[in-house]
């Protein structure tokens, strides 16, 4: 007989919260109620949880810090697996750092700079978890996390596997990991650096973000990928005069046109409608089909 999420979490000694509003778990502040958010505290429990959920036909998705996520309105019959409570420590060994997926990416960048390790300074302005950064191959200011990855630990097919970088096909805002892969952590290869120089570089990137992005508003970061070399989606939307357009509680940011920001009353349906308006206008005016950069749960 299929088991319930409650039974599975109890048997595996995994902490869980049920019937959680996703608007409280995402930076966009929209989304309906999810059936369960589970918090395994070891990689082994996380892998076992995924295996048991799949065995009983229960849908699951990894949940990082919710900073790149658009969740539909209404009830979501799935389990969100958060790795923010993993007890795995960050380990520094020479110029390599092994870090769990639930760890804060900005915090990691700061710690590496303080230790005189360079190579990820440009990732400092990106909010969210390390696992989320690996999943989308996050990048900024000419840096991509794939450039420094040595290996990735993944719960896959009922076991934990370590995948070397040379076996992983990363591309712009793309990784080879599927919805059935739970990223547990990664090992990064950095290089010797100067702490003072790294901190100054990081500070400049953060100043640039504050000046060019709506950092004080509810958003999920850039909504769309750039469509090609030399083509910036935000600039295209801006040139079409769409900054400030609003549907319900969602608005194309007047600061950066590739951001959709929401007020306290916004529904995910408002965001989806605005996304389709942008796509349609760009398609008609420029013949470009925009691809989503944010992850969508429906």
Which part of the chain has CATH 3.90.78.10? Answer: 215-297
Residue 2 predicted with pLDDT over 70: no
First to last CA, the chain: 27
**What digits encode the pLDDT tens for the residues 102-124?**
999 999 999 999 999 999 999 99
**What digits encode the pLDDT tens for the residues 193-209?**
999 999 999 999 999 99
What lies within 8 Å, CB to CB, of 6 at 6+ separation is: 16, 18, 36
Which part of the chain has CATH 3.30.43.10? Answer: 5-82
pTM metric for this prediction? 0.94
Residue 238 predicted with pLDDT over 70: yes
Report the percent of the chain where pLDDT is more than 70. Answer: 99
Which part of the chain has CATH 3.30.465.10? Answer: 91-211
Residue 128: pLDDT band (50, 70, 90) is very high
Query: In terms of CATH architecture, what is 91-211?
Result: 2-Layer Sandwich (3.30)
Query: For residues 263-274, b (16+ Cβ closer than 10 Å) or e, as one string?
Result: eeebbbbbbbeb
Rounded to an integer, the average pLDDT of 141-159 is 95
Class of the CATH domain delimited by 215-297: alpha beta
Residue 78 predicted with pLDDT over 60: yes
Residue 286 predicted with pLDDT over 60: yes
**pLDDT attached to residue 251:** 98
- Residues marked active site are found at 173, 222, 293
**What digits encode the pLDDT tens for the residues 171-230?**
999 999 998 899 999 999 999 999 999 999 999 999 999 999 999 999 999 999 999 999
**What topology does CATH give the domain 5-82?**
3.30.43
Q: What is the 3-state secondary structure (H, E, C) of the chain?
A: CCCCHHHHHHHHCCEEEEEEEHHHCCCCCCCCEEEEEEECCCHHHHHHHHHHHHHCCCCEEEECCCCCEEECCCCEEEEEEECCCCCCCCEEECCEEEEECCCEHHHHHHHHHHCCEECCHHHCCCCCEHHHHHHHCCEECCEEHHHHEEEEEEEECCEEEEEEHHHCCCECCECCCCCCCEEEEEEEECEECCHHHHHHHHHHHHHHHHHHCCCCCECCCCCECCCECCECHHHHHHHCCCCCCEECCEEECCCCCCCEEECCCCCHHHHHHHHHHHHHHHHHHHCCCCCECCEEEC
Report the distance separating Cα 145 and Cα 128, nearest Å.
Answer: 13
CB 185 within 8 A of CB 35: no
Rounded to an integer, the average pLDDT of 74-96 is 96
**pLDDT attached to residue 24:** 96
CB 285 within 8 A of CB 246: no
């Amino acid at each position: 007989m299929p088991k319930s999420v409650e039974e599975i979490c109890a048997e595996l000694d995994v902490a869980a919260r049920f019937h959680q509003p996703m608007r409280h778990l995402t930076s966009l502040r929209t989304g309906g109620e999810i059936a369960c958010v589970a918090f395994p505290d070891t990689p082994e429990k996380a892998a076992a949880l995924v295996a048991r959920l799949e065995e009983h036909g229960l849908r699951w998705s990894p949940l990082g810090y919710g900073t790149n996520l658009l969740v539909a309105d209404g009830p979501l019959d799935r389990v969100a697996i958060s790795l923010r409570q993993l007890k795995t420590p960050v380990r520094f060994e020479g110029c390599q750092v092994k870090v769990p997926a639930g760890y804060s990416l900005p915090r990691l960048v700061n710690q590496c700079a303080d230790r005189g390790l360079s190579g990820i300074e440009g990732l400092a302005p990106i909010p969210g978890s390390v696992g989320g950064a690996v999943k989308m191959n996050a990048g900024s200011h000419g840096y991509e996390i794939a450039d420094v990855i040595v290996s990735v630990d993944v719960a896959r097919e009922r076991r934990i596997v370590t995948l070397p970088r040379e076996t992983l096909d990363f591309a712009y805002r793309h990784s080879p990991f599927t919805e059935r892969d739970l990223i547990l952590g990664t090992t990064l290869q950095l290089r010797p650096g100067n702490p003072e120089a790294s901190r100054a570089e990081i500070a400049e990137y953060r100043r640039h973000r504050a000046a060019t992005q709506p950092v004080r508003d509810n958003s999920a970061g850039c909504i769309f990928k750039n469509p090609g070399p030399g083509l910036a989606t935000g600039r295209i939307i801006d040139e079409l005069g769409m900054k400030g357009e609003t549907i319900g509680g969602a608005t194309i940011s007047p600061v950066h046109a590739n951001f959709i920001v929401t007020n306290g009353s916004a529904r995910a349906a408002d965001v989806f409608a605005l996304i389709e308006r942008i796509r349609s206008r760009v398609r008609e005016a420029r013949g470009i089909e925009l691809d989503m950069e944010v992850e969508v749960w429906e």
